[in-house]
Amino acid sequence: MSLRRPGTPFQPKKERFAEGRFAVGVIEQAIEEGPSDVQGPDTLMIRADVPGHGSIRRRVICPLSMPGSGRGLVGQAVGLRHVTNDPDDVDDVLVVRWPSEVARALQPFHPEGPGAGRARTWRFLAQCAAVVTVGGILLTVVMLIGLVCTAGELFADLPAWFRPWEVLAASAGAAVLGPLAFAFCGARVTTALSRSGA
C-alpha cells in the first residue's frame, strides 16, 4: 500500500533510489548512436569510486536531447544514487545532480530585468512566426496538389469567393516570410536580453 498523495504520479525509479547510496561520479564517455534517420540523445558512461568496493560504472541517457551534446559533458562531475555496488549493473543509477551547464540548459525561459517583458514579447512573436511558417508550408503543398495534380477539381465544390491561386500565393508567401520573421524576432530577443543584463 502506498501513502502517496492523490494525484501524485507514481515514480518507481525515484522511490527505488530514495534510500540508495550517494556517490560522486565522473562522466567518462559520451556514446552517440550510429548514423540513422532519427538520432536520439547520447548515452553517458559514468565512473564513480565507492569506498570499500572500488569503481562502479553506470549508464544514463543524456538529458540534453541534441545528438552530440554529451561530448561537452565528458570529464564533468555528477551526483548519483545507486542501490547496489555491483560494478556491472550499469542501469542501477539515478543522477540527482548534473553539471551546471545542463541545469542552465534545462531551465525554462524566464528572463528578468528591464528588458524581460520585451524579450518575452519577441519570443512569443517568434513562436507565432514559426507556426505561420509551418502552416504556410503545409497549405502550399495542399494547394499545389489541388491545382497541379487535380487541375483545380479538388476545389470545385468550394464557394465562389475561394480563389485557389490567391491562397497558393499567400501560403507560399507565409512559407518564405515566416522564417525571416522568426529570425528577426529571435535577434530582437537577444538584443532585449543583452540590454537587460540577463
3-state secondary structure 114-165: CCHHHHHHHHHHHHHHHHHHHHHHHHHHHHHHHHHHCCCHHHCCCCCCCCHH
Query: Is the pTM value of this prediction over 0.75?
Result: no
Torsion of CA 50, 55, 56, 62, to 10 degrees: 100
- 4-33: per-residue pLDDT in tens? 444 444 444 677 777 778 888 899 988 887
Question: Per CATH, is 12-104 categorized as 2.40.50?
Answer: yes
Return the closest-CA partner of residue 64 out of 19, 21, 95. 95
Q: Calculate mean pLDDT across residues 171-192.
A: 91
Q: Calculate mean pLDDT across residues 140-168.
A: 84
pLDDT reported for residue 10? 43
Mean predicted lDDT score pLDDT of the chain: 81
pLDDT reported for residue 30? 87
- 91-124: per-residue pLDDT in tens? 888 888 888 878 777 766 666 777 778 888 898 9
Contact 43, 30 (CB under 8 A): yes
Alpha-carbon separation of residue 115 from 105, 143, 182 (angstroms) = 20, 41, 19
Identity of the residue numbered 131: V
pLDDT reported for residue 37? 55
Identity of the residue numbered 72: G
pLDDT reported for residue 158? 82
How is the chain split into domains, by residue range? 12-104, 116-196
Contact 96, 79 (CB under 8 A): yes
